[in-house]
Amino acid sequence: MKNKIKIGIIICDRYCNCAGGKCFRAMKDREGAFSIYSENDELELVGYTTCGGCPGGNIEYAPEEIKKNGVDVIHLATGFVVGYPPCPYITHYKNFIKDKFGVDVVNGTHPIPEKYFKTHSTLGTWNSSEWKKLIEPTLVDGKTRLAYD
């Protein structure tokens, strides 16, 4: 019997028109931040929305709505770390959602695409220990990064 895990995804509002293709593919294939789930876990998407734009006005309300759908884990989409500049609020969002709503939060969804990896590596965006920890769930091998370009 599979363990059902209900997933919510919050994306950066810069990508408000995103159809979620990379996130959904990564969820199905257990890649990027979804690699923490086993094949014995049945993942069900129960919410998908944006942060509401800087400084994240929707973060106060969206998790409550998603929680009504039985969410177990909220993923803050990879767009929060690959956009330029990366989201300066991501740690605040994670802590706020966990503290206020009691829901586990994971940084990232799909693997970081190669084009973003190259740009941020050149710029040194993710050189700090804080950013290295933030991108860790979505940092994968070069072949997988290219597959998400």
- pLDDT single digits (tens) 38-53: 999 999 999 999 999 9
CATH fold of 3-147: Rossmann fold (3.40.50)
pLDDT at 1 exceeding the cut of 80:
no
Tell which residue, 5, 6, 10, has the closest CA to residue 107: 10
Token output for 98: 């966990």
pLDDT band at 11 (very low <50, low <70, confident <90, very high): very high
pLDDT of residue 137: 96
Average pLDDT estimate for 52-81: 96
pLDDT, one tens digit per residue, over 74-101 is 999 999 999 999 999 999 999 999 999 9
141, amino acid identity: D
Query: Strand 104-107 and strand 73-76: pairing?
Result: parallel
Token output for 81: 């770390």
Residue 31 has φ and ψ, to the nearest 5°, of: -110, 165
Whole-structure pTM value: 0.96
Segments making up each domain of the chain, as ranges: 3-147
pLDDT at 121 exceeding the cut of 80:
yes
Tell which residue, 136, 40, 111, 27, has the closest CA to residue 73: 27
